[in-house]
Amino acid sequence: MNIELQVCGLVMLIIFLVFIERDRKLNVKNRLLFIAAFGVCIACLVFDIASIVVIHMAVYEGFSPTVTKAVCKLYIMLLVTQGYCGFLYACYDLAVQFNNKLIRNLAMILYIVGEILIIILPLDYYMEGRSVYSYGPAALCTYALSIFYISFTLFLSLKHKKDISHRRLIALFTWQGLWLIAALIQFVFKEVLLVGFAAALGMIVLYSQLENPNEHIDRATGLFTQNALSLFLQDKFNYNKPFAFYTAKIKYLVPFGELEMKRNAVIRSARGFLELGDEPVFRIGDDKFCVIYDSKERAKEKLMEIKARADGVTDIPVEAKFIFFPDSTMLTGVDEVFNFIHCYEDSAENLLVCDQDLVDKMRYRTRVYNLIENALRDDRVEVYYQPIYNVKAGKFTSAEALVRIKDEDGKMVSPGDFIPVAEENGQIIPLGIRVFKKVCELLATGELQKLGIENIESNISVAQFDYENPTSFVKKHIEEYNIDPSSINLEITETADTGLKHLLNLNIEKLRAIGVTFSLDDFGTGRSNLDYFVDMPAQNIKFDLKFTQGYFTNDRIKHVMEGMVNIVHNMDMKIVSEGVETKEQLDAMVSLGIDYIQGYYFSRPITSTEFMEFLKAHQG
């Protein structure tokens, strides 16, 4: 009998079924659809083999034709079911489109009507040698329905390929393509029974590429991975299943370099989470975990339990921070879950309980982040200039370049709205580079120099020294625009991480060697104070606006500034005072011995064109 390929396919599926049932898995809709398709595929192969057997018995041994036709009809009905299950599985990533009731109902109606037609329509069978097949209107109906489901599945996948991962798209095309090609070959060459084997081979491709649970298991801990969490959450949101969750950042303070001790500590944490219950536990970072619950009451109970365990660790110092999110309906999707975790994972609170206010703040931060990204992409980053008055020269010889961005409607965004967000998420780095480039473009025209400007101050983030060598981009733009390096003054905030001081000073020296000058910005508001600026090879110190204003309201600040002026001048450095807003303040700063004055008394930050006009009007 011609059943070798079917038996081979059945054996392969049974072996893989053992693997499927043995592995830890997430109970998500996608997996349930796969299991359903897998089960129908096995049933198809069983009844494919059974139909060949009963046809052989009916032809050569007088077996009941009625029972034979019934078995054959069950087989072809299962083929249609397999096509329908494949369609449902393939549409998982197209949940938005497929949740359209019309499409869903039409697909189900077509399936039911097709199965009824197969039952009603006549079916016959044929066998001679190794050639064995069913034929008749019922068989033709089966071919039509199967090819329709396969073709429609491929069509939807191709049409909405942007909504499907590339890997899933390839796997689906391989699966359905194998089945379609096999069906067409078998339709033409009826003695070549390929459909069942091709379907089995396609299921194995799906398992290995998409449904292998080992890909979602963290090898070190046995917990689910962050990708698995994304899949799990997507299922929850797709099918409106509310949930609660908490994250735990448990950091064992093991000695640096003790990798084995670190690994054992992480495994210890993982084991603790697994002992809490059957809920899925995800490792979403080196020391960060997330657990999903169906109810907020159980989530809170288990959170308190794992927190008590962490607090009770005495053999190794441990830091533990928790985020508790009691109601997923406050969030709109997977991205917001991860955004929320990322936004608050470094909160100062050991236990942060989510509320609507925190969600709103996260959304605001996300909107601003996207606003900055779009402004960088669409070149809506602008540079404003605030003139700096040279007391000795009696004119404006410098200006500070300040970043500004516009929204999609061309409206200017307040720096107070986007600068803090940019500093938190690292966008201050590309913003700083963009500003520096535009400053170089303006200096390259030579117009500022003709109006008495000696240099432009441009802010550079200390983070730049950590993530990217600033010497590279500074030199690049200076050379690209062929400008005098001495026309560039880079402002470094004094709140730099002291761990970066060596790298910071090294880069400053490299740039000073070619003529670039430096200012220590915002002095008086950071952590470094005296010991910091003593070591920094800068030429200027900038008194922060609050520091300057404090001179007139706080006697202690007044005494500090008076002392600092002498110290700075004795170190052969100059002082810029920011925030001067009145004539009285200007006179006081001049009397104090301040070298450069910056503030609203002279001008607010203005566009490059306005800055040119300002210089023409005031330099005389």
CA neighbor of 388 nearest in space, from 574, 151, 198, 140:
574
Q: How confident is the model at residue 157 (pLDDT cuts 50, 70, 90)?
A: confident
Residue 341 has pLDDT above 80, yes or no: yes
- Dist. CA 273–CA 184, nearest whole Å: 52
Question: Of 172, 194, 213, which residue sits at a domain end?
Answer: 213
- Dist. CA 190–CA 143, nearest whole Å: 13
- Dist. CA 354–CA 295, nearest whole Å: 15
What's 121's DSSP letter? S
Q: How confident is the model at residue 38 (pLDDT cuts 50, 70, 90)?
A: confident
- Reported residue count of the chain is 620
Mean predicted confidence (pLDDT) in 364-387: 93
Q: Please state, rounded to an integer, the average pLDDT across all residues of the chain.
A: 85
| Residue, of 400 and 59, whose pLDDT is higher | 400
Domain for residue 277, yes or no?
yes
- Dist. CA 197–CA 160, nearest whole Å: 29
Q: How confident is the model at residue 331 (pLDDT cuts 50, 70, 90)?
A: very high
Residue 130 has pLDDT above 80, yes or no: no
Residue 330 has pLDDT above 60, yes or no: yes
Pair 227, 133 in one domain: no
Domain for residue 371, yes or no?
no
Pair 234, 114 in one domain: no
197-201, 209-213, 483-487: the lowest-pLDDT one: 209-213
pLDDT at position 169: 77
Pair 209, 221 in one domain: no
Domain for residue 366, yes or no?
no
Residue 526 has pLDDT above 60, yes or no: no
Mean predicted confidence (pLDDT) in 479-502: 78
pLDDT at position 353: 92
Q: What is the per-residue pLDDT across 546-572, written as a single tens digit (0 to 9) for each?
A: 889 999 999 998 998 998 898 889 888
Pair 541, 452 in one domain: yes
Mean predicted confidence (pLDDT) in 14-39: 77
Question: What are the tokens at 555?
Answer: 């006697």
pLDDT at position 97: 46
Pair 304, 335 in one domain: yes
Structural domain for 114, as ranges: 4-213
Backbone angles phi, psi at 3, to 5 degrees: -125, 10
Mean predicted confidence (pLDDT) in 243-252: 90
Mean predicted confidence (pLDDT) in 385-403: 95
Pair 452, 553 in one domain: yes
What's 241's DSSP letter? -
| Residue, of 450 and 495, whose pLDDT is higher | 450
Q: What is the per-residue pLDDT across 186-196, written as a single tens digit (0 to 9) for each?
A: 777 766 777 77
Domain for residue 369, yes or no?
no
Q: How confident is the model at residue 481 (pLDDT cuts 50, 70, 90)?
A: very high
Q: How confident is the model at residue 137 (pLDDT cuts 50, 70, 90)?
A: very high
Pair 534, 584 in one domain: yes
Question: Of 167, 196, 213, which residue sits at a domain end?
Answer: 213
Residue 599 has pLDDT above 70, yes or no: yes
- Dist. CA 304–CA 311, nearest whole Å: 10
pLDDT at position 296: 92
Residue 395 has pLDDT above 90, yes or no: yes
Amino acid identity at 1: M
Q: What is the per-residue pLDDT across 313-323, written as a single tens digit (0 to 9) for each?
A: 877 788 889 99
DSSP string, 410-437: SPEEPHHHHHHHHHHHTTHHHHHHHHHH
pLDDT at position 186: 74
Q: Is the dihedral of CA 28, 33, 38, 43 positive or negative?
A: positive
Residue 57 has pLDDT above 60, yes or no: yes
pLDDT at position 496: 47
72-81, 200-209, 552-561: the lowest-pLDDT one: 200-209
Domain for residue 342, yes or no?
yes
Residue 291 has pLDDT above 90, yes or no: yes
Q: What is the CATH number of the domain that holds 257?
A: 3.30.70.270
Q: How confident is the model at residue 400 (pLDDT cuts 50, 70, 90)?
A: very high
Question: What are the tokens at 207?
Answer: 């398992």
Within 8 A by CB and 6+ apart from 531, the residues are: none
Between the ranges 185-194, 286-295, 466-475, where is the mean pLDDT highest? 286-295
Domain for residue 71, yes or no?
yes
Q: How confident is the model at residue 337 (pLDDT cuts 50, 70, 90)?
A: very high
Mean predicted confidence (pLDDT) in 534-551: 85
Domain for residue 545, yes or no?
yes
Q: What is the tally of structural domains in the chain? A: 3
- Dist. CA 222–CA 204, nearest whole Å: 24
47-51, 184-188, 326-330: the lowest-pLDDT one: 184-188
Q: In which residue are the tokens 């441009």 written? A: 458
Yes or no: say if 519 and 576 are a contact pair by the CB < 8 Å rule.
yes
Pair 47, 140 in one domain: yes
Residue 95 has pLDDT above 60, yes or no: no
**Residue 602: CA atoms inside 13 Å, Cβ hemisphere, count?**
31
pLDDT at position 96: 44
What's 606's DSSP letter? B
Environment class of 109 (CB within 10 Å of its CB; exposed 0-12, middle 13-18, buried 19+): exposed
Residue 245 has pLDDT above 60, yes or no: yes
Pair 243, 287 in one domain: yes
Pair 209, 236 in one domain: no
What's 208's DSSP letter? I
pLDDT at position 530: 59
Pair 508, 606 in one domain: yes
pTM, 2 dp: 0.69
| Residue, of 561 and 177, whose pLDDT is higher | 561
Residue 583 has pLDDT above 80, yes or no: yes
Q: What is the CATH number of the domain that holds 532?
A: 3.20.20.450
Helices of type H across 320-456? 334-344, 356-377, 415-425, 428-444, 447-450
pLDDT at position 92: 67
Q: How confident is the model at residue 383 (pLDDT cuts 50, 70, 90)?
A: very high
Residue 439 has pLDDT above 60, yes or no: yes
Environment class of 15 (CB within 10 Å of its CB; exposed 0-12, middle 13-18, buried 19+): exposed
245-254, 300-309, 336-345: the lowest-pLDDT one: 245-254
Domain for residue 344, yes or no?
yes
CA neighbor of 577 nearest in space, from 603, 553, 546:
546
pLDDT at position 161: 73
Going edge to edge, which strands form the sheet with 351-353? 281-283, 288-293, 244-252, 318-325, 351-353
pLDDT at position 199: 82
Residue 10 has pLDDT above 80, yes or no: yes
Pair 164, 181 in one domain: yes
Amino acid identity at 455: N
Residue 98 has pLDDT above 60, yes or no: no
Question: Of 313, 339, 354, which residue sits at a domain end?
Answer: 354
- Dist. CA 58–CA 136, nearest whole Å: 17
Residue 335 has pLDDT above 50, yes or no: yes
Mean predicted confidence (pLDDT) in 396-415: 92
Backbone angles phi, psi at 197, to 5 degrees: -65, -40
Q: What is the CATH number of the domain that holds 41?
A: 1.20.1070.10
Angle 114-119-122 from CA coordinates, rounded to 5°: 110
Radius of gyration of the chain (CA): 36
